[in-house]
Structure 1
């Protein structure tokens, strides 16, 4: 069975226009995500260089990280860990 599809003369123009718009939205979304990730990286580096976190003393680190979770609404959780596998997570109920 054959099917013949007839497109209006301007259909190719509109399809190209929609394709360009979709590409532009995708590009803008990627740039937005890249900026957000860059900001998160800076934030984590800043936290990692504070005296509380550098001490790796959980009694000192936990209250500080809890306050950071409350201060930044786009943070879901903050975790710290050591090479031997020790870790603690603040802000999320993750199963590790």
Structure 2
């Protein structure tokens, strides 16, 4: 599931779309990519962002939309949506597996 604040042609299907084109001090909102949006930390960040009048437009993604371990896919996404900042809330919840295969844990 992807949750996007703003217009969206790419994520399609299962996102929640809220149109907020706010201009602050003559500047258009900057896009912030939030990965791991369906996890505990991502959900908390989303709730907090919805309560504030932020100068940022948050684009929420999860693994079903963006594979953050694929650098090419991330670069394409960042370019296509003019991402200015990234907040990585993604996690590898299987701690025992992450310890056994540290490379996977570090890639996330």
TM over 0.5: no
Higher relative contact order (CA 8 A, sep 6+): 2
Higher share in strand: 2
> Whose radius of gyration is greater, 1 or 2?
1
TM-score, length-normalised on structure 2?
Answer: 0.28
Higher share in helix: 1
TM-score, length-normalised on structure 1?
Answer: 0.31
